[in-house]
């Protein structure tokens, strides 16, 4: 169908621009564009007030068939026979059940085998597909960009907009190419790539932009590794991060419950093949990361940009020129109870958290279990392993991964957001140190007064075994 | 949507950079199904002792804090979680505008939908405001949305950016949903020519 004009245009467009253009319903000068949304993911915490808004205005949900709900943030990860004790959580999930029932929205509820963290189940069920626009009232919606979708987090007012109209008002963001080239050294993983990017550009570095991750390293990553990277785009300030769809993407989506079938599949794939950025596409900003030079990353501060190679030493606020940055770093180190110039290798931790929408998928658990096998969690240290979904849990148990963790002395849990958000009973005590595979080390994020080091699953397991922050490369022989 | 035209008010500063929405309102306060009372929990972990008593020295617990309608905060304000509870809490406390050098995208979007005005200024103006607040806590500034001007006590007028659409909505106190609804026919036409990509009810 493409004539020469379109082909030329295609060559000059980025992946983001192609998807954006295909979803603009109305573009009036001076107003933001009306953007069509293909898939709206809903969870219990950010949606109740949006449904209330619909009721007050007497509006239906325009497209319940493009909407899907689950519960993840507030759900305890304790065994299913233990009833939920938090009255507020009970009320919030009851409200979601009622809202889904009343508005005809499919819900993967408490007892569903498909329940899980919203950003784990979307891809798992084949709901997440290349070329789509996907939104959710959760900033880590950027995860779905790994499929070559435009996916971003929205607020509750916007949730109401999408429920009512299947559209959003959006000002077109700019584009930011993140090229990662070369072979990752042993012990260095997708998590280290994204933590490195954020440490370089800062937590506001991507504001107003959409990242496109590209280059030989990204092409070589599995879908689950790409999801880890896209997941944390928001921690670099970008609402969305994307990877162009390729054979890896198509192989992953094929045969999943909500993926197209038969002729529709062939047509969909042909369309997805047209999505990658053209050779003449120009980005507003670019950065290149040399994968071969990367080391395992660890954060030392209270935002994900305060990260360094595990072999490095904590920076000194006195060396920071900008007054505001200096104060922010000093405040962070004070909260963390850490000193400038200190190495984090050997730092004691109290808790190891393996989970969250960043690193709780099957390949994360396999990698972690392989390192854990034959070792014990160090004495006095608590390790929690929280699969991202009930399906991930089931599959991990089929493979015997749960046994490896349990025999090592780790706590094997039901799925959920768990200690990444600490509003479900899983949390740190004041002053405790945790090494976490999650995405945020903000003050109190994992529990009031808790102190978080963000790292990869491999670094987390190495630390669990040694009882102190450990460079995993020393354990890989 | 709360209407905003001009505001002359006292300010209060929390100059820390990269204040995330977990600080603005910790996750444990998100177990609500309405928007009421969130102002009481604004900056909870910075504002209260472990026993729940207010930290006297924390700025929002002082008379100055209670009187202020403008919050002056550090760079990249509102980063992190998409929770709209953050601007709900800020407005619930009594603020109508936040001044910073920059805002996180989602926080900015959420605020514009509610009528909480994010006012982005250059570093020099920001520094001047912080100094003013320190030297003369009762200082008032005027924010004129129509003309997109922040007027300082020395008479200096500083322009701030806002898209015309959000500005019109906030000046008139009109919810953005109405504009989307007015394009229902265009949305229906779009749906006719663009096949559905997924059917969540089919599984």
ipTM of the complex: 0.97
| pLDDT on residue A1 | 37
Q: Does the structure show a pLDDT above 50 at A2?
A: no
The secondary structure of residue A137, as a DSSP letter, is S
| pLDDT on residue A9 | 64
Nearest residue to B84 via CA among B163, B46, B29: B29
Nearest residue to A110 via CA among A94, A86, A99: A94
What's the average model confidence in pLDDT over A310-317? 98
- Which is more confident, A385 or A28? A385
The share of chain B scoring above pLDDT 70, in percent, equals 100
Give the pair of three-digit tokens for residue A469: 């922050």
Average pLDDT, chain A: 96
Q: Pick left, alpha or beta for residue A105 (phi over 0 → left; psi -120 to 50 → alpha; otherwise beta).
A: beta
Interface probe, candidates A156, A231, A269, A358, chain B, greatest B C-beta count within 10 A: A156
CA angle A143, A164, A211 (to 5 degrees): 25
C-alpha–C-alpha distance, residues A89 and A109, integer Å: 13
Give tens-digit pLDDT for A113-125. Answer: 999 999 999 999 9
| Helix, strand, coil content of chain A in percent (nearest 5) | 40, 15, 45
Chain B from 130 to 189: CB within 8 A of any A CB: 163-165, 176-177, 179-181, 183-184, 186-187
| pLDDT on residue A324 | 83
B144 phi/psi in degrees, rounded to 5: -115, 105
Give tens-digit pLDDT for A44-73. Answer: 999 999 999 999 999 999 999 999 999 999
Nearest residue to A437 via CA among A411, A417, A408, A466: A417
Give tens-digit pLDDT for A78-129. Answer: 998 999 999 999 999 999 999 999 999 999 999 999 999 999 999 999 999 9
Average pLDDT, chain B: 96
What's the average model confidence in pLDDT over B112-122? 97
Q: Does the structure show a pLDDT above 90 at A337?
A: yes
Task: Verify whether the Cβ–Cβ distance B20 to A32 is below 8 Å.
Answer: no
Give the pair of three-digit tokens for residue B141: 């500034």
Q: Does the structure show a pLDDT above 50 at A4?
A: no
Task: Verify whether the Cβ–Cβ distance A45 to B31 is below 8 Å.
Answer: yes
| pLDDT on residue A5 | 41
Q: Does the structure show a pLDDT above 50 at A391?
A: yes
SS3 B140: strand
| pLDDT on residue B27 | 96
| pLDDT on residue A405 | 98
| pLDDT on residue A7 | 46
Q: Does the structure show a pLDDT above 90 at B194?
A: yes
- B23 — contact with chain A (CB < 8 Å)? yes
pTM over 0.95: yes
């Amino acid at each position: 169908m493409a004539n020469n004009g379109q082909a030329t245009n295609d060559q000059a467009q980025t992946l983001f621009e192609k998807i954006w253009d295909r979803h603009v319903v109305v573009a009036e000068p001076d107003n933001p564009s009306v953007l069509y949304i293909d898939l709206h993911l809903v969870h219990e915490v950010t949606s109740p007030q949006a449904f209330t808004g619909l009721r007050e205005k007497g509006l239906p949900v325009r497209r319940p068939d493009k909407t899907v709900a689950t519960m993840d943030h507030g759900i305890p990860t304790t065994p299913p026979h233990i009833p939920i004790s938090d009255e507020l959580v009970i009320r919030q999930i009851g409200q979601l059940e009622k809202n889904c029932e009343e508005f005809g929205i499919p819900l993967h509820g408490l007892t569903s085998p498909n329940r899980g963290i919203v950003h784990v189940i979307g891809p798992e069920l084949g709901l997440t597909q290349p070329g789509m626009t996907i939104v959710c009232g959760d900033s880590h919606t950027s995860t779905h960009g790994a499929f070559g979708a435009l996916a971003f987090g929205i607020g509750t007012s916007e949730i109401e907009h999408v429920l009512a109209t299947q559209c959003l008002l959006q000002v077109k963001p700019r584009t930011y190419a993140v090229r990662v080239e070369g072979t990752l050294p042993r012990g260095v993983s997708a998590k280290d790539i994204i933590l490195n990017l954020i440490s370089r550009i800062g937590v506001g570095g991507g504001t107003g932009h959409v990242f496109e991750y590209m280059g030989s390293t990204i092409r070589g990553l599995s879908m689950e590794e790409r999801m880890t990277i896209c997941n944390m785009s928001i921690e670099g300030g970008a609402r969305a991060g994307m990877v162009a769809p390729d054979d890896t993407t198509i192989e992953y989506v094929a045969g999943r419950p909500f993926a197209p079938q038969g002729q529709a599949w062939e047509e969909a794939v042909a369309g997805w093949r047209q999505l990658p950025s053209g050779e003449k596409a120009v980005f507003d900003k670019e950065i290149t990361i040399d994968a071969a030079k990367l080391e395992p990353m660890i954060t030392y501060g209270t935002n994900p940009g305060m990260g360094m190679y595990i072999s490095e030493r904590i920076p000194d606020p006195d060396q920071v020129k900008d007054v505001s940055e200096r104060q922010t770093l000093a405040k962070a180190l004070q909260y963390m109870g850490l000193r400038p110039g200190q190495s984090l290798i050997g730092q004691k931790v109290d808790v190891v958290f393996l989970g969250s929408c960043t690193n709780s998928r099957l390949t994360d658990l396999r990698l972690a279990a392989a390192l854990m096998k034959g070792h014990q969690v160090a004495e006095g240290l608590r390790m929690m392993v929280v699969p991202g979904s009930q399906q991930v849990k089931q599959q991990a148990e089929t493979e015997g991964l749960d046994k490896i963790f349990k025999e090592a002395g780790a706590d094997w849990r039901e799925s959920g957001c768990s200690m990444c958000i600490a509003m479900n009973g899983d949390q740190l005590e004041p002053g405790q140190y945790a090494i976490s595979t999650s995405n945020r080390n903000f003050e109190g994020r994992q529990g009031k007064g808790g102190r978080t080091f963000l790292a990869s699953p491999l670094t987390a397991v190495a630390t669990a075994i040694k009882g102190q922050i450990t460079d995993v490369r020393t354990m890989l022989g | 949507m709360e209407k905003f035209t001009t505001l002359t008010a006292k300010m209060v500063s929390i100059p820390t950079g990269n204040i995330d929405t977990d600080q603005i309102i910790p996750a444990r306060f998100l177990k609500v199904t309405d928007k009421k009372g969130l102002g009481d929990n604004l900056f909870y972990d910075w504002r209260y002792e472990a026993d729940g008593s207010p930290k006297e020295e924390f700025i929002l617990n002082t008379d100055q804090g209670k009187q202020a309608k403008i919050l002056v905060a550090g760079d990249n304000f509102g980063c992190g979680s998409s929770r709209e509870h953050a601007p709900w809490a800020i407005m619930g406390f009594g603020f109508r505008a936040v001044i910073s050098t920059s805002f996180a995208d989602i926080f900015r979007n959420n605020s514009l939908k509610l009528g909480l005005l994010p006012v982005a200024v250059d570093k020099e103006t920001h520094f001047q405001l912080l100094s003013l607040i320190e030297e003369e806590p009762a200082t008032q500034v005027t924010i004129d949305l129509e003309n997109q001007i922040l007027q300082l006590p020395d008479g200096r007028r500083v322009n701030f950016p806002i898209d015309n659409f959000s500005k019109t909505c906030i000046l008139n106190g009109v919810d953005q949903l109405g504009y989307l609804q007015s394009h229902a026919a265009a949305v229906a036409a779009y749906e006719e020519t663009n096949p559905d990509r997924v059917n969540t009810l089919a599984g």
